[in-house]
């Protein structure tokens, strides 16, 4: 993208380019074609002409989109700070009243992250990772989820009964799985379909009841624990995955350390 800007001064011409392209000045390459000249009486004569060239990146596309959406929502003074991460960028978003709108679970942050990823990744096939945050919300939420996982896992370990958590997105489920994997005697797996997929925490040593069976699953009964030859439950359907919904796999949706997460079933 290349355009020529004319103004009273070179600085004014550059400012016009910044406003037109919607990015910071350091992302634009300027070539001064013509500068105002001083007349005999010390006054500036003529105008400044500057060629401005700018190549739009995936980060720029994401930032522009987020600012446009939040401005349309009535949020003023929107700022988006960028920091590079592996295979992408982390965006720190702020604005008047924005933090109060992101929701208890960060629903607005999740939505902006998902939509910005769709917009920026449509220009080529190479996946570009985008994460969004606001004043450390992601880290605070991570700590809350880890505490929740440990509390429920310890209860499951004591009573031997499985416990299902509320539906969560893949990122939050991974936090739960990682926390559970550090506790002996329990395991976790994800069940269900998006967006209702949830984590089930169960004991690796379920307690036996007085009849020699297990509290969970009724393995000590005949007919697999079914009464009156009732038909088997169809169970959960695993055919729909997060990757299918998002059209392509994303690096943050997979576990890379098989040893650490050997107890986890997705």
The helix (run of H) or strand (run of E) holding residue 31 is strand 29-34
Burial 37-59 (b: 16+ CB within 10 A, else e): eeeeeeeeeeebbbebebeebbb
Q: Is 6 in a helix, a strand, or coil?
A: strand
Q: Which of the two residues, 85 and 259, has the higher pLDDT score?
A: 85
Encode pLDDT of 38-69 as tens digits: 776 667 778 889 999 988 889 999 999 999 99
CA atoms of 78 and 82, how far apart (whole Å): 13
Query: What mean pLDDT comes out for the span 245-253?
Result: 39
Boundary (domain end) residue, out of 96, 111, 135 = 135
Is 49 within a domain?
A: yes
Q: Are residues 222 and 157 in the same domain?
A: yes
Residue 140 falls inside a structural domain: no
Residue 19 confidence class, pLDDT cut points 50, 70, 90 = confident
Most confident of 21-35, 39-53, 101-115, 223-237: 101-115
Q: Does any domain span residue 106?
A: yes
pTM for the model: 0.64
Residue 118 clears pLDDT 60, i.e. is over it: yes
Last residue of a domain, one of 116, 135, 154: 135
The CA dihedral of 89, 92, 95, 101, to the nearest 10 degrees, is 100
Q: Is residue 165 part of a domain?
A: yes
Residues spanned by the domain of 17 = 2-53
227 versus 202: which is more confidently predicted?
202
Token digits for 124?
């080529």
Note whether 260 and 203 are same-domain residues.
yes
């Amino acid at each position: 993208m290349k355009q020529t800007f004319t103004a009273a001064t070179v600085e004014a011409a550059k400012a016009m380019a910044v406003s037109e392209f919607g990015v910071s000045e350091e992302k634009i390459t300027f070539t001064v074609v013509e500068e105002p000249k001083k007349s005999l009486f010390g006054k500036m004569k003529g105008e400044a002409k500057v060629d401005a060239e700018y190549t739009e990146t995936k980060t720029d596309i994401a930032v522009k989109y987020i600012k446009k959406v939040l401005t349309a929502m009535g949020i003023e003074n929107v700022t988006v700070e960028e920091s590079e991460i592996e295979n992408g960028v982390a965006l720190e978003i702020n604005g008047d009243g924005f933090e109060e709108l992101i929701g208890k679970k960060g629903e607005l942050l999740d939505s902006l992250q998902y939509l910005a990823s769709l917009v920026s990744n449509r220009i080529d096939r190479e996946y570009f990772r985008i994460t969004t945050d606001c004043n450390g919300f992601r880290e605070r939420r991570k700590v809350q989820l880890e505490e929740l996982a440990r509390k429920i896992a310890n209860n499951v370990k004591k009573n031997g009964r499985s416990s299902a958590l509320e539906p969560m997105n893949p990122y939050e489920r991974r936090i739960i799985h990682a926390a559970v994997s550090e506790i002996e005697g329990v395991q976790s797996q994800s069940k269900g379909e998006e967006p209702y997929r949830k984590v089930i925490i169960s004991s690796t040593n379920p307690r036996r009841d007085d009849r020699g069976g297990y509290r969970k699953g009724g393995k000590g009964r005949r007919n697999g624990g079914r009464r009156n030859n009732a038909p088997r439950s169809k169970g959960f359907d695993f055919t729909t995955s997060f990757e299918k919904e998002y059209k392509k796999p994303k690096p943050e949706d997979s576990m890379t350390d098989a040893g650490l997460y050997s107890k986890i079933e997705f």
